[in-house]
Structure formats: C-alpha cells, structure tokens
Amino acid sequence: MFLFFMFMFFSPCLSKSTIAARNTTKTPTQNIGCNFYQGKWVYDKSYPLFDSLKCPFIRKEFDCLRYGRPDRQYLKYRWQPNDFDLPRFDGLDFLKKMEGKTIMFIGDSISDNHWQSLLCLLHQAVGPGSNITRFTKDSLSSVTFQEYGVTIQVFVTHYLVDIENEKIGRVLKLDSLKSGAIWKQADVLIFNTWLWWYRRGPKQPWDYIENDGKIVKDMDRMVAFRKGLTTWAKWVNTDVNPIKTQVFFQGITPFHYHGVEWNEPGATNCGMETTPFNGSTYPGGEPLALKVLKEVLFSGAESVKLLDITFLSQLRKDGHPSKYNKFGGMDCTHWCLSGVPDTWNTILYAQI
C-alpha cells in the first residue's frame, strides 16, 4: 500500500485516466500505471527536439539532412501515449538529475543511434561554449558534460556475450560474458542486441558457436539468441547492484524491408516512405525476438525495465535514413537523427 502511494506521487504519468491505466498494466517491468507504449504519433510543429545540422555527434550513417534527405515531415512527429502526456525532453533537468552519474548504452549500432540522439539532445540544451570532453578506448566511447559531471557512454558489442579467437577460429560463446566488470560501474545501463543474430556469410563475425561446453558449426539462431540473453540475465541478477544501478533493455528495433508488414506488399524497402503507418496495431505483428526477450526478462530478470519501443518504432517506416547517408546504400535498419531515437530517450527520461 505504501509503495502504491509512493508511485501515485512520483510517477510521471498521472495527468490522465491514471487509475484506469494503473489497473490494466501489470507487467513487472513497467512503471505501475504507466503504459508508455500504447499510443500514436501526432504532428507537432514544435518538433524536432534538436537541429541535427548543429549536432557534432552524428555518424554519417544517421545524418539524413546533411546527406540530402529532401522531406521534412518525418521530423515533426511526437509520440502520444493513450493514457497520459509524455513529459517533453528537458536536457538541463536531465543533467541536473543525473549529476555525477554515468549512463551507458551497450549493444550494436542501434545503441550508437540511441546514444548519439541523447548526446544531441543534451548538447542542444547546454548550448555552445559548454565544456564537453570526449574519450574513446577499445569498445567504449565516452562523452562528459563537465559542468554537470554527467558521462554518457556507448559500449559496442554485437551479442553481449563474448566472441573469442581460438585455434579453430572465432567462437561465439553463449555462456560467457566478460565485459560486465566495465558495465556494472555505470549508474544506468541500457542494453540492446538483435541485429547480428541472423547474420550469415561474410558479415557473420564468428566461425563456431559454443553452447553448454559444446562447439557447433551453427544452430537455430533464435535458440542461440535466447541462450545469450539468458546468460546476460544471470549476469544482471548476480553481478549488478540494483540499488546503485538501474538496468533497461531496449526492445527489438524493427526493420522496414517488407512492405507487406505495413500493407504495401510491393515495397521492398523504406525508400518511398514519408509518413508513419497510421493505426493502433501494426499489420506485421510482434516480432518473435520480442516474445523471446520478454520471456527471458519476465522469468529471469525482474529488476530490468523493458524499454518496449518496438511497436512505436514499427509505425515509423518513414524514420530510416534510406539512401540519405554518406554511403548511399539503402538503410531501413538504423534511424535518422533527429528522429525516432529521440522518443526512445524521452521515454527513458520519464523513467530515470
């Protein structure tokens, strides 16, 4: 009862129909009463949240306006949950709340996307002349907003579990997670892995898989994904101090290469898309990987909050770089900045 009232006072989502919403969201990884993830994209002329041409942190893959994206409407959508208003991202407030703390994104290039969005949001808030220092070593890149003592990091790892070079070749070890000692020093961790689990051929960065002590040439990739996540969940439970460190897992980010998923069966990429899919469900349905992720989280890692951004991102077939990146290839996997990851960060901001 006491806890219930604590949430009543401190939860950010009390503005509308809170009690009704509270009654319907029972999953342990969501804030009581906050369903951030059911809603719609609405046009908002005050968007985007930052000017990408003024942000010095954007990779050439995500810098759509700089590489000639002609349409602007994709910048103008705000996520509106059904039950309450999401607080607008306030960079100075974020930095004050996080004073002295370190936030680390851990995962593949989608984590980089997420990280750079947050850096741009904060950079815009502190303004020019602020002391921002950068540092990169091995897999870890770090940016510190010196006046606030806030450090925002990304640790690049495709699978979370390890790949090791052995005599037979590169081995993906589903039971081994060795970078955790670095990760657990941070105050907020945001994990993600998915993109690489189905990579084959020359883009596959391993030669063998080790599973339960046995080396195999290959295996069912979804089973491997579940196994890797389970190893990660065990690590969270045994190694991460939940009093010091808040842990999030970013849901599965969707690709847009199959038009049938958004009722345009002819489309084989996102190249012609300039508006979100308008609907309260997505025809493509929930990805199997998300089901697996939820099962692992609910059964093994209750302290982890799921940033369940899959559905809201599925609607954004217009949010990808398509050909507007330095390399000109068709990219319907990553996201333009400014863009959809700003919303992931707005939801993160509402929960930390």
Ligand X SMILES: *[C@@H]1O[C@H](CO)[C@@H](O)[C@H](O)[C@H]1NC(C)=O
* Residues with catalytic roles: 109, 331, 334
Residues 310-349 close enough to bind ligand X by CB under 6 A: none
Which C-beta is closer to ligand X: that of 23 or that of 46? 23
Question: What is the smallest separation between the CB atom of 146 and ligand X, expressed in angstroms?
Answer: 4
Residues 236-295 close enough to bind ligand X by CB under 6 A: 278
Distance, in Å, from the CA atom of 156 to the CA atom of 141, rounded to the nearest integer, reads 9
Which C-beta is closer to ligand X: that of 147 or that of 218? 147
Distance, in Å, from the CA atom of 213 to the CA atom of 305, rounded to the nearest integer, reads 30
Residue count of the chain: 352
Total residues contacting ligand X by CB under 6 A comes to 8
Question: What is the smallest separation between the CB atom of 280 and ligand X, expressed in angstroms?
Answer: 10
State the chain's maximal CA–CA distance in angstroms. 61
Is position 80 an interface residue for ligand X (rule: CB under 6 A)?
no
Contact characters 109-148, ligand X, x per CB under 6 A:
----------------------x-x------------x--
Sheet holding 305-307, edge to edge: 132-137, 140-145, 150-156, 102-107, 188-191, 246-250, 305-307
Among 19, 168, 181, 243, interactor with ligand X by CB under 6 A? 19
Stretch that binds ligand X, among 15-23, 28-36, 315-323, 344-352 (CB under 6 A): 15-23
Which C-beta is closer to ligand X: that of 41 or that of 47? 41
For residue 63, CA distances in Å to 33, 91, 117, 198, 327 come to 36, 21, 11, 26, 11
Question: What is the smallest separation between the CB atom of 131 and ligand X, expressed in angstroms?
Answer: 4
Stretch that binds ligand X, among 19-27, 58-66, 118-126, 189-197 (CB under 6 A): 19-27
Q: Which of 266, 337, 343 is nearest to 60 (CA)?
A: 337
The H-or-E segment that residue 100 falls in is none
Residues 23-42 close enough to bind ligand X by CB under 6 A: 23, 41
At position 126, the amino acid (one-letter code) is V
DSSP string, 32-70: TT---SSEEEEE-TT--SS-GGG-TT--TTT-TTTTT--
Contact residues for ligand X, defined by CB under 6 A: 19-20, 23, 41, 131, 133, 146, 278
